[in-house]
Amino acid sequence: MELYVKQSKKLLFRTLNCCESQIIPYQNAEDISRDLLLKAVTGLAGGLYNRGSTCGVVFGAAINLAQKRLGDDWSPAIERELLMQAGRYVDWFTGEFGGTLCRDRTGLDFQTIKGKVGLLIPKKAKGCVKQSALSMKFLLGQGEEEEINHIDEPYAHCGTDVLVAIREKTGIGDVDIERITTVLDGGIGLKGGSCAALAGGVIALGLTHGNEHSKEDAFRFRHIFKGVSRKFSKLTNSLIDDFEKRYGSLECSGITNCSFNSFDEFQETRERCSPIVEWVTQQVELRLVDST
């Protein structure tokens, strides 16, 4: 376990992507290779591409919970159990660090030069490294979860529905990543963080224009100097800007004004979010067409 905890700490600075700092060590620990997933999550660092929303460590941990289950016979029951697992993880993270929003915990605005440089302040950097390390330790220390088998019918998703629609319209997509994204529903584990529909849109742009590398590349020194492509940055920034102007928040709780006390309550609210899913899908499709 200590090896992978050390990897998570090292990768936080080598990749400059706190989401990858969780995913890569977990893939190593579980002997998983999903390089396309690393490309897809390019924009999930710093609270949705440096916007200060849900911490990239939390995104990465939730994704890890889901990617471990991909070898199983996928079902609505697994999806629901993953949401419950992710919710318990978010509760643990909140208890340890006081919240999941990057902007609240760091006090930095990564959209500015001052904010980016601020991460180099030892106290700030130490905080992010500690969160990455303890999160990895928590995940690797978890035992097997019991599957809940009483859900048979497929149910509505947020980010996954965006990704499926984009794949059907453009041919761009990956079924495994669509399944993994179900864990982001309701702001990750129904906890009201980053809107999963918007995260799904950012993931879709990552699949096309994100950083191409393997988990082995991430440990090589040259990777430190590899930045995000201008095209990805332009498309993702414009999507997030337009989303925030339209809906007034990047967080599920801010958009819906709801705290989900049950899975059924989430599904009832999710129907109200269908227009958001449709809007994000349309906006991502337009950007993908214009960028080719």
Q: CB burial class (10 A; 0-12, 13-18, 19+) of residue 248?
A: exposed
The overall pTM is greater than 0.75: yes
* Residue of 231, 198, 239 whose CA lies nearest to 54: 198
* Residue of 176, 223, 181 whose CA lies nearest to 21: 223
Structural tokens at position 262: 């049950």
Number of domains in the chain: 1
Domain of residue 219 covers 2-290
Per-position pLDDT tens, the chain of length 292: 688 888 887 877 777 788 999 999 999 998 888 999 999 999 998 899 999 999 999 999 999 999 988 877 888 889 989 999 999 999 999 999 999 998 888 777 677 767 665 666 656 667 788 888 899 899 888 766 555 555 667 788 999 999 999 999 999 999 999 999 999 999 999 999 999 999 999 999 999 999 887 777 776 654 544 668 899 999 999 999 999 999 999 999 999 988 888 888 888 877 788 999 999 999 999 999 877 6
Please give the Cα distance from 3 to 11 (Å, whole number): 12
Cβ of 79: how many Cβ atoms within 10 Å? Answer: 20
Note the helical H segments in 101-229: 102-106, 113-118, 122-140, 159-170, 175-180, 196-209
Please give the Cα distance from 284 to 203 (Å, whole number): 10
Please give the Cα distance from 58 to 47 (Å, whole number): 9
